[in-house]
């Protein structure tokens, strides 16, 4: 399973997003606001999800805001930082 596929799966499971299938989340869909509709508490959960499932730490949430834009940006960050 690719990083993007796994990301979509854990997002749905861990954030308890109902009525959405992994393949319905486009790689460039905005995760917050109008897109998938995530909010600030989800952002905190996302940091935890990425550390727990991918072993990649996000230390500064403000500086890291661009990482949370979409599945594309998140996957790129994970690929670049996983050990």
Output the CA–CA distances (angstroms, integers) from residue 49 to 9, 55, 63, 76, in the order listed: 11, 9, 18, 16
Region 15-44 residues binding another protein, contact defined as CB under 8 A:
15-19, 37, 41, 44
Structure tokens at 41: 């508490």
Of 3, 10, 29, 45, the residue at the interface with another protein (CB under 8 A) is 45
Of 21, 27, 28, 52, the residue at the interface with another protein (CB under 8 A) is 52
Smallest gap from residue 6 Cβ to another protein (A): 17
Q: What residues line the site for another protein (CB under 8 A)?
A: 15-19, 37, 41, 44-45, 48, 51-52
């Amino acid at each position: 399973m690719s990083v993007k596929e796994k990301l979509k799966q854990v997002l749905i499971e861990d954030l308890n997003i109902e009525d959405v299938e992994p393949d319905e989340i486009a790689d460039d869909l905005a995760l917050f606001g109008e897109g998938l509709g995530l909010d600030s508490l989800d952002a905190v959960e996302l940091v935890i999800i990425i550390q727990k499932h991918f072993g990649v730490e996000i230390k500064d949430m403000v500086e890291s805001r661009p990482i949370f834009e979409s599945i594309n940006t998140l996957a790129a960050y994970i690929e670049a930082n996983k050990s």
